Amino acid sequence: MEVQVRNVQGELIWARNAVGGVTSSAYGLDSTLKDIKAALDTALEQCVGELALFEDVDGIPVAGSPST
């Protein structure tokens, strides 16, 4: 799996996959890396919330799980 962060123009500014990543040392000099971290934190919160929808609570199946 690969995670990519693009700016508003659609240009790749940061990426990470199982074997490595892409970034520029220049981004450490401004707020770009902090902005990337904030965007990733928000995305992670959303992912955790979505995962909660698919947890088996009290043995009751939830959305997306088999009915058998």
C-alpha 32/C-alpha 34 separation (Å) is: 5
Does 33 score more than 70 pLDDT? Answer: yes
pLDDT for 11: 85
pLDDT for 32: 86
Q: Does residue 15 fall inside a structural domain?
A: yes
Report residue 48's pLDDT band, with 50, 70 and 90 as the boundaries. Answer: very high
- Find the domain containing 23 and state its range: 3-52
Q: Does residue 7 fall inside a structural domain?
A: yes
3-state secondary structure of 64: coil
Q: Does residue 36 fall inside a structural domain?
A: yes
Q: Does residue 65 fall inside a structural domain?
A: no
C-alpha 59/C-alpha 37 separation (Å) is: 36
C-alpha 36/C-alpha 43 separation (Å) is: 11
**At 4, which helix (H) or strand (E)?**
strand 3-6
Average the pLDDT over 40-62 and give the result.
81
pLDDT for 23: 78
